[in-house]
Amino acid sequence: MHHATVAAKRVYRARRRRNALNMSMSVLGMCFGLFWLAWIMITLFGYGFEALNWQLLSQPTPPPGSDGGLSNAIMGSVMMAGTATLIGTPVGVLAGTYLAEYGHRGWLAPATRFVNDILLSAPSIVLGLFVYTVYVARMGHFSGLAGALALSLIVIPVVVRTTDDMLKLVPDSLREAAIALGAPKWKMIAMVSYRAARTGIATGVLLAVARISGETAPLLFTALNNQFMSHDMNAPMANLPVVIFQFAMSPYDDWHRIAWGGAILITLSVLGINILARVLFRQNNS
């Protein structure tokens, strides 16, 4: 009995040491990541807030050595992100609805989920090259519409996954009650499933918008850039990510300042969208 107690204590102490070691490594890893994140954020806020002013929001991008802002790039980003959301959201919601409500049998639903997972992790530059090949090269010019199509390919898999997951969380008892009352399946989905999952689906759409807000690579191959204010989606269009990239790579200090201002604008917008998405999701859970 005494030997068993001693052995148990040794095992307990060994487990405590392993637990302390693993916990220490986890905390060190967390601190290492937070250190670089804090450094990035401090640098971004330090340079970005200095560049924030009314001129940044009201003036178009300037030539070197002149005063200007990012109004045309902001407008282009809003137009392309809005168009991409309008294109990708219905497609993603309908595909997610099929997976959750109709794809219980057969091979199509599992294959669709597999392809959707690949699209979720696909590099955005590949999607940009795809749209360049099938649209830009055939049309013979860059355009804001091509940029919106590339961004919509990023929106769709996010919305598909979110819609599929949120609809699966709806209790089957609600569906059975609606069908027992004589409602057809399409009406049950529209009036019961969608209403129960609407906050989660909206959260997924907001997260997709946050993801495409800072995408640069697809727009380099599709929308390119425009120095002037333009509302023509069938022509090259300015956008914040590409302007930031080009201005940050330039040798001009005034362009560097504008690039920092654009970076802080994107950061604050993405932060706000993520906070809104978390608030909506928390309300849905409560």
Residues 37-96: tens digit of each pLDDT: 999 999 999 898 888 888 888 899 988 878 888 999 999 999 999 999 999 999 999 999
Judge if 32 and 132 occupy the same domain: no
pLDDT classification of 4: cutoffs 50, 70, 90? low
Judge if 70 and 94 occupy the same domain: yes
The per-residue pLDDT for range 101-110, each reduced to its tens digit, is 998 888 888 9
Judge if 98 and 42 occupy the same domain: no
Judge if 238 and 268 occupy the same domain: yes
Percentage of residues in the chain with pLDDT exceeding 90? 51
The per-residue pLDDT for range 218-269, each reduced to its tens digit, is 999 999 888 888 888 999 999 999 999 999 998 888 899 999 999 999 999 9
pTM score over 0.75? yes
Angle at 60 between CA 57 and CA 65, to 5 degrees: 110
pLDDT classification of 15: cutoffs 50, 70, 90? confident
Tell me how many domains the chain contains: 2
pLDDT classification of 145: cutoffs 50, 70, 90? very high
pLDDT surpassing 60 at residue 286:
no
Alpha helices in the chain (DSSP H): 2-51, 54-58, 71-97, 108-121, 124-131, 137-139, 144-168, 172-180, 185-188, 194-213, 217-220, 240-248, 253-285
The per-residue pLDDT for range 111-127, each reduced to its tens digit, is 999 999 999 988 999 99
- The residue range of the domain holding 8 is 2-51
pLDDT surpassing 90 at residue 136:
yes
* Token pair belonging to 40: 């990035």
Judge if 158 and 174 occupy the same domain: yes
* Token pair belonging to 189: 């989905």
pLDDT surpassing 90 at residue 142:
yes
Judge if 71 and 141 occupy the same domain: yes
End-to-end CA distance of the chain: 52
Contacts of residue 162, Cβ cutoff 8 Å, sequence gap at least 6: 92, 96, 200, 201, 203, 204, 205, 207
* Residue 1: predicted pLDDT: 53
